[in-house]
Amino acid sequence: MKILVLGVNHKTASVDIRERLAFSGTKLDEGILGLHALHSVKEVSVLSTCNRVELYAYVDNVPGAAGEIKDFLSGLHGIARTEFENSLFVLDGPEAVRHVFRVASSLDSMVLGEPQILGQIKDAFDLSLSKKTTGVLLNKLMKKAISTAKRVRTETRIAENAVSISFAAVELAKKIFTNLAGKSVMLMGAGEMAELAARHLLNNGVTGVMVVNRTYDRGCELASEFNGRPVRFENFLQELVHADIIICSTGAPTYVLQREQMQKVMKERKQRPVFIIDISVPRNIDPEINKIDNVYLYDVDNLQDVVDTNLQGRRAEAEKAEGIIGEEVEKFGRWMSTLDSVPTIVALRQKADEVRREELEKFQNKFPDLDEAQMKAVDYLASAIVNKLIHPPTVALKDDSEDRDELIALITRLYGINGGDDE
């Protein structure tokens, strides 16, 4: 019996293949139950996100189970095996365990250190539990993956610092203002990146939002999404005095804000700091504005530099995380190896209990006049002796030692047990 991981992710398959193999809605329920019903699959859990579709299974035979699963995926999704087979990766044993732990710890994510994947792993596990498609082994694996991910986040700084343009903008804003509560933002243009940055700012305490757009109706629409107010493009200079943060992404071919204009705004603001993010390409804010006191202007290249620096920091932390995962994979391997001795331990206990019952029956036949309390005392004594006698071999069987197989064979022979093979 082995752990098997089979699937596709952003490294191995195109978006088209990932979408066609994805499990969602009723197909997720149908899929996980269908997989669990396969002859060679004993336990299974399904992780399906925009970047990966991965099946975690406990199987009796890796090649046979992999073939069955591929055929099942083909039938469920209506895709010929030849269309997706080359995009699949198949892992088993310790490498499969390592992969699950790395995924949960976001070391295998498109954005290193992102937090969403751990929640997705938990959701996948919860579904498996609700559908009863996992058992002792995968339950242990998934719980260990979650605890390993938490350990990585606690003992490393892999999740710290912004690694997207929009988050980098928020990080810089915090450095300039310390506290974003009560600050106001003007969103100039309706670019996706600028809009995302504005949402992140709102989530970090910014309250007032003004939306400036050359198409006023679009500005009104966007303003309503932010519970803000629209500003006509020709009036934005008058309103600029009220903005602590400006996010510009207008797509204009020239500068929409010049140094002289900003100097007048700062005079009206009584030199209160202003943070300007110019995400436009080409730039829409005059770079000379950055020379004005208390004006902090960053363009997309500046923000990318912040992202790159932070990514380097995350990569350094990832090395520490890999060490933690290595330790946890080893621990899990030791736990799995002890499972080999479980049938022998069970058989040894059954053998000892059988001998105890037989001897108690003989004793009771010899002394029929003993009352119930006296027989209970004798039974207690017999149980105590049995427990003491089988304790050392039981401990030895559970111990992580290289000679466990020889020990199992020896105990099986000495006590005349079969190690549970007839179960």
Residue 197 CA to residue 174 CA, distance in Å, equals 13
Q: Quote the percentage of the chain above a pLDDT of 90.
A: 60
Please indicate whether residue 163 or residue 5 has the higher confidence score (pLDDT). 5
pLDDT, average across residues 117-122: 95
**Which range is most confident: 91-105, 247-261, 382-396?**
91-105
E runs forming strands in 33-119 = 41-48, 52-59, 89-92
Residues 145 and 88 in one domain: yes
In a domain, 371, yes or no: yes
Residues 25 and 73 in one domain: yes
Burial of 247 (0-12, 13-18, 19+ CB in 10 A): buried
Residues 20 and 63 in one domain: yes
Q: Each residue of 142-162: pLDDT tens digit?
A: 999 999 999 999 999 888 765
In a domain, 318, yes or no: no
Residues 30 and 149 in one domain: yes
Residue 248: active-site member: no
- CATH number where 15 lies: 3.30.460.30
Nearest partner of 186 among 133, 240, 138, 235, judged by Cα: 240
For residue 132, the model assigns a pLDDT of: 96
For residue 423, the model assigns a pLDDT of: 40
Q: What is the CA radius of gyration of the chain?
A: 32
Residue 119 CA to residue 384 CA, distance in Å, equals 47
Structure tokens at 288: 């000379």
Q: pLDDT band for 49, please (50, 70, 90 cuts).
A: very high
**What letter represents residue 10's amino acid?**
H
Residues 11 and 151 in one domain: yes
Q: Are 4 and 92 in contact (CB under 8 A)?
A: yes
For residue 54, the model assigns a pLDDT of: 97
* Structural element, H or E, at residue 393: helix 372-398
């000892």: which residue's tokens? 352
Residue 173 CA to residue 180 CA, distance in Å, equals 8
Structure tokens at 257: 């804000």
Nearest partner of 96 among 1, 2, 8, judged by Cα: 2
Q: Each residue of 322-376: pLDDT tens digit?
A: 999 999 999 998 888 777 677 788 888 888 899 999 999 999 999 999 999 999 9
Q: pLDDT band for 116, please (50, 70, 90 cuts).
A: confident
Least confident range of 64-78, 91-105, 162-176, 255-269? 162-176
Burial of 37 (0-12, 13-18, 19+ CB in 10 A): exposed
Domain boundary residue, one of 143, 159, 175: 159
Please indicate whether residue 81 or residue 283 has the higher confidence score (pLDDT). 81
The residues, any chain, with a CB within 8 Å of residue 210's CB and separated by 6 or more, are 184, 185, 186, 187, 223, 228, 229, 230, 231, 239, 242, 243
pLDDT greater than 60 at residue 229 = yes
Provide the domain count of the chain. Answer: 3
For residue 192, the model assigns a pLDDT of: 75
Please indicate whether residue 348 or residue 95 has the higher confidence score (pLDDT). 95
In a domain, 321, yes or no: no
Which residues span the domain enclosing 369? Answer: 338-415
For residue 422, the model assigns a pLDDT of: 42
Fill in the DSSP letter of residue 276. Answer: E
Please indicate whether residue 271 or residue 114 has the higher confidence score (pLDDT). 271
Within 13 A of 287's CA, how many CA atoms are on the CB side?
A: 6
For residue 195, the model assigns a pLDDT of: 80
Q: Are 53 and 23 in contact (CB under 8 A)?
A: yes
For residue 402, the model assigns a pLDDT of: 66
Structure tokens at 142: 């998934």
**Which range is most confident: 27-36, 226-235, 389-398?**
27-36
Catalytic position from the list 15, 50, 110, 389? 50
The residues, any chain, with a CB within 8 Å of residue 63's CB and separated by 6 or more, are none
pLDDT, average across residues 300-327: 88
pLDDT greater than 90 at residue 226 = no
